[in-house]
Structure 1
Amino acid sequence: MANAKSGPDHRLDYRRAFQDAPVGQAIAHYRVIVDCNKAFAEMFRGTVEELVDTTFERLYPDLSRYEQTARRIAPTLARHLTFSDDRVMKRLDGELFWVHVSGFTYTPDDPHADTLWAFTDLSMKRKVNSVLRGSLTPRERDIAALLIEGKTGKEVALSLGISPRTVDIYKTRLLRKYNVTSTPALVQKLISA
């Protein structure tokens, strides 16, 4: 068995480990970012200083998604202490993107009081847990994110620099994949799946 070095000179600096972790991490108190690491700040295209002491609200497509998410995850956090899902979030420059979020609560009686979150940018083509989300192409993710934002087919086309007909083709594929018949039903499935 190898000798393990011990003593104060060989202790891991946990603050530095948090800051240098290759996955985005944030510590929150009632959904206010108390601290975050460099990977989190870079993922959301900001700085640690810009994000600390602000709510997660600015990282959601809109206020209703932010509020819906709080209501949706609280019971699971309270019961299991952990929660994870894939969702659309918003970078500080306004770009929407898919992200995998995993969280832990230290306060199950008040699930949002003290939490730790890890974020993985799914637009980097990493494997995702959801079979359905994992089957989306990068273009389908782009279109889905803009539909969630409430854009029309023409606005999606303009945003992505493609034709409205191409948007219609991708939207039809998304409707089939999610087994729904309307854009509002598709958006609901995308944000709640």
Structure 2
Amino acid sequence: MTANPAIDFETIFRYAPVGMCISVDRVIQSSNDTLEDMFGYARGELAGKSFQVLYPTMDEFLRTGDRIVPIMNAKGRYSDERIMRRANGELFWCHVSGRALDPRQPLGAGVWTFEDVSEKRPVSKELTPREREIAAFIVEGKTSKIIAKETGLSPRTVEMHRAKLMRKFSASTSSELVHKLMGA
């Protein structure tokens, strides 16, 4: 009978097929090769950097942080799809999931995964930061009323952004807009 080899968690982390990082207060402490490659950074270059460098704008970074806290407090984890920014400025859709190590500190120490979903969902139109945020909620199937509540906007303002998105994507129905946002 052969003994099981020792599990080398550092190797598992480094070579995992999804981007992974450990963060404290939204600052990357350590990231794996896949995350660095996905975002276009050299080995070890993300260590010590704020997650802000991965967002298209500072405003999107701040709004996402505000949105994460109540969900992490309620569920202990967070997951969404959003548009992120590579080191070269290219925007792409990314599935992000995270979990706090201490549920009482949702943005404290945590483990986060990132998956590039741009092949399934290319960023095909020039969108404003707010339109990117609204688009992410629309793709999740959320109504204007729910989007308004989660973003602090009025339902009427959300409807205005939805209408702009429909014009930009030449969509005549909400389901057609979702298909176009998803690159279908």
TM-score (norm 2): 0.70
In 2, the alpha carbon distance for the partners of 1:93 and 1:38 equals 17
Q: Which residue of 1 aligns with 2:153?
A: none
Task: Report what 1:14 is aligned to.
Answer: 9
Corresponding residue number in structure 2 for 1:142: 124
Cα distance between partner residues in 1 of 2:67 and 2:130: 21
For the pair 1:173 / 2:173, whether they are aligned, the reply is no
Q: How has the CA–CA distance of structure 1 residues 60 and 178 changed in structure 2, closer, same or farther, with 3 Å as cutoff?
A: farther
Q: Write out the 4+ residue segments of structure 1 that deviate beyond 6 Å after TM superposition.
A: none
Letter in 1 for 2:38: M
Give the direction of change, closer, same or farther, for the CA distance of 1:79–1:60 in structure 2 (3 Å limit). same
The question of whether the paired residues in 2 share the 8 Å contact of 1:79 and 1:108 is answered with: no
Aligned partners of 1:20 and 1:37 also within 8 Å: yes
Q: Secondary structure of the equivalent of 2:127?
A: helix
* Greater C-alpha Rg: 1
In the other structure, the counterpart of 1:124 is 119
Q: Which runs of 5+ in 2 are unaligned?
A: 132-164
Does residue 101 (structure 1) correspond to residue 96 (structure 2)? The answer is yes
Corresponding residue for residue 5 of structure 1: 3
Q: Residues 110-148 of structure 1: CA distance to partner in whole angstroms, max 9, x if unpaired?
A: 1111111111101132xxxxxxxxxxx63xx321xx313
- CA distance 1:150–1:19, change in 2 (3 Å): same
| Distance in 2 between residues matched to 1:59 and 1:172, nearest whole Å | 25
Q: Give, in angstroms, the shift of residue 169 of structure 1.
A: 8.8
Separation in structure 2 between the aligned mates of residue 174 and residue 26 of structure 1, nearest angstrom: 37
Gaps of 5+ in 1: 126-136, 152-167, 181-189
Q: 2:83 aligns with which of 62, 85, 88?
A: 88
1:171 maps to amino acid: K
Aligned residues of 2:166 and 2:172 also touching (Cα < 8 A)? no
- Over aligned residue pairs, what C-alpha RMSD do you find? 2.8
* Aligned-residue offset at 1:170: 7.0
CA distance in 2, matches of 1:175, 1:27: 42
CA contact (8 A) 1:33 1:56 kept: yes
Q: Which amino acid is the alignment partner of residue 174 of structure 2?
A: K
Alignment check: 8 A CA contact 2:31 2:44 kept: no
CA distance in 1, matches of 2:86, 2:167: 24
Q: 2:39 maps to what in 1? A: 44
Partner of 2:124, secondary structure, is helix
- Measured against aligned partners, the alpha-carbon deviations of 1:71-122 in whole angstroms (never above 9, x if no partner) come to 1011111221111000001001101110000111112211111111111101
Identity of aligned residues (%): 33
- Scaled by the length of structure 1, the TM-score of the pair is 0.67
Partner of 2:67: 72
Structure 2 counterpart SS, 1:28: strand
Distance 1:72 1:35 in 2: 24
Distance 1:36 1:174 in 2: 39
